[in-house]
Amino acid sequence: MNQSYDLGFLGGGQLARMSIMAAQKLDFHCLSLDPGKVTPSSLIAPSLQGELSDPEKVAHLIIQCKYITLENEFIPVQTIRQALIIADRDPSCIIPGLGTLATIQDKLLQRQAYDAYGAPSPKAVALEGDYSNAIAEIGFPMVLKARFGGYDGKGTRYARTQEEFETHRPLIDQGNWLAEEFVPFKRELAVMVYRSQTQTGCFPTMETVQVNHVCDQVFPSGTDASAAAIAAVEAVQGYGLFGVELFELESGDFLINEIAPRPHNTGHYSQDWGGISQFEQHVRLATHLTCATPVGQETCMVNILGIELPSGTNEANATHTNSPLEERTGVDFARAELLRHHSEANFHWYGKAESRPGRKMGHINISGPDCRNRALAARQSFLESWK
């Protein structure tokens, strides 16, 4: 067996990239697999190009790496199982476990796991037959969700009334949708949970603000949802690093929305808070090292989403230039302006080849008093200069 790499990533996007950066700090050698040729990860470490749904390609990565992890939960568990057989490897080389992954991949199975464990979460049922049972059981308003593959709200619809439900019928007729009760939450929270055979703990509970279903800002919440978040991870028998999304109700109670079995956008602040980052914790879990207790100072993160750029320009050619400051364009100019006005900002850019509206391109972390307002001002300064 030729395991030239310590850690392999299924996926080569920004989550793999930032995990690889943390792994490199520990002198680990990493490899990623992604359908794209040039990816955020391929810019900083060796990579393979191939479909994540192709067991042969996945096996090609698995054969070369001592430990394996993933950056999204959408690769079918069956594909990974086949790949393990081809690579002649034991499933224990992968974190998170495949049973946990299978439960998380199906939003209905996830809800059922929380119910069975007694971890509070919105009531949900499968949309089957003529849907009358689901409508009777959940009632309006309800939320419709694709059981598989949803992200950034792409598989989420609201049905406030029967009429609105009817407008979604053609979509849900395609199959594999669920209906769940609409939660009139006070705010949305997120907790990064780590769990190994010997250590379990949480990063601080953060408040998250979504705009158009995409995470926009993350900042300290002043509350502690650790117990509910750990219960969610235990409910899916999870080991590894998990981003747990929760709803906080007016009563102060917490309901579990969903779990991501990997680093999560709501944990990016930890890169610059002075303690261990979610990415290093993830790497430590995946390679069976001891976890650190997460402690740091108050930090806010704001996302930078893509914009429409004039045709012919893209990030790849705009970020690599040796021009003097006054000649810079695109991202180079915007970064220079950001740091000129907000020198305390921690700027993270993913190196994606193309900017598209709504696409996550980078983020800014700012620590200390009033970090939320200062992070928002820093982003404003970047966006005003990015053209």
Would you tell me how many other CB atoms lie within 10 Å of the CB of residue 225? 23
CB crowding 22-47: b at 16 or more within 10 Å, else e: bbeeeebbbbbbbeeebbbbbbbbeb
- Determine if 153 is a binding residue for ligand ATP (CB under 6 A): yes
Nearest distance, CB of residue 60 and ligand ATP, angstroms = 28
Q: How many residues bind ligand ATP (CB under 6 A)?
A: 19
Kindly state whether residue 213 participates in binding ligand ATP, applying the rule CB under 6 A: yes
Contact assessment for residue 379 and residue 304, using Cβ atoms and an 8 Å cutoff: yes
> Out of 6, 71, 73, 180, which residue is the one contacting ligand ATP (CB under 6 A)?
180
- Residue 120 binds ligand ATP (CB under 6 A): no
What sign does the dihedral 213-217-222-227 (CA atoms) show? positive
**Integer Cα distance of 146 and 177 in angstroms:** 4
Contacts of ligand ATP in 52-81 (CB under 6 A): none
Q: What residue type is 12 in one-letter code?
A: G
- 143 contacts ligand ATP (rule: CB under 6 A): yes
State the amino acid at position 342 in one-letter form: H
How far apart CA 332 and CA 334 sit, in angstroms, is: 6
Q: 150 touches which of ligand ATP, Mg ion, none (CB within 5 to 8 A by kind)?
A: ligand ATP
Partner from ligand ATP, Mg ion, none binding residue 210, C-beta < 5-8 Å depending on class: ligand ATP
| Residue 258 interacting with ligand ATP (CB under 6 A) | yes
Q: Minimal distance in Å, beta carbon 301 to Mg ion?
A: 16
Binding mask 212-251 for Mg ion (x = CB under 5 A): ---------------------------------x------
Q: Least separation, in Å, of the C-beta of 370 and ligand ATP?
A: 26
Query: Distance between CA 305 and CA 382 in Å, rounded?
Result: 11
Query: Can you read off the two tokens belonging to residue 146?
Result: 């694709």
355 binds, among Mg ion, ligand ATP, none (CB under 5 to 8 A by kind): none
Minimum CB distance to Mg ion smaller for 66 or for 359: 359
**Position 99 contacts ligand ATP (CB under 6 A):** no
138 versus 256: smaller Cβ distance to Mg ion:
256
Report phi then psi at 8, rounded to 5.
-110, 140
Could you tell me which residues come within 8 angstroms of residue 335 by beta carbon, excluding any fewer than 6 positions away? Answer: 347, 349, 382
- Residue 83 or residue 301: which is nearer to ligand ATP going by CB? 301
Q: For residue 249, what are the CA distances in angstroms to 1, 143, 187, 204, 215?
A: 52, 17, 7, 18, 19
Residue in 54, 106, 115, 152 binding ligand ATP, rule: CB under 6 A: 152
Please report how close the Cβ of residue 221 comes to Mg ion at its closest, in angstroms.
Answer: 16
Which residue, 41 or 257, is less far from Mg ion as judged by CB? Answer: 257
Task: Say how far apart CA 110 and CA 106 lie, in whole Å.
Answer: 6
Kindly tell me which residue out of 86, 109, 183, 249 binds ligand ATP, with binding defined by CB under 6 A.
Answer: 183
Cβ-count burial 138-174 (b if 16+ within 10 Å, e if not): bebebbbbbbeebeeeebebebeeeeebeeeeeebee
What three-state secondary structure class fits 187? strand
- Report d(CA 67, CA 30) in Å as an integer: 10
Measured from the CB of residue 351, what is the shortest distance to ligand ATP in angstroms?
Answer: 22
Q: With CB under 5 A as the rule, give the number of residues binding Mg ion.
A: 1
Binding site for ligand ATP (CB under 6 A): 122, 143, 145, 150-156, 180, 182-183, 188, 210, 213, 245, 257-258
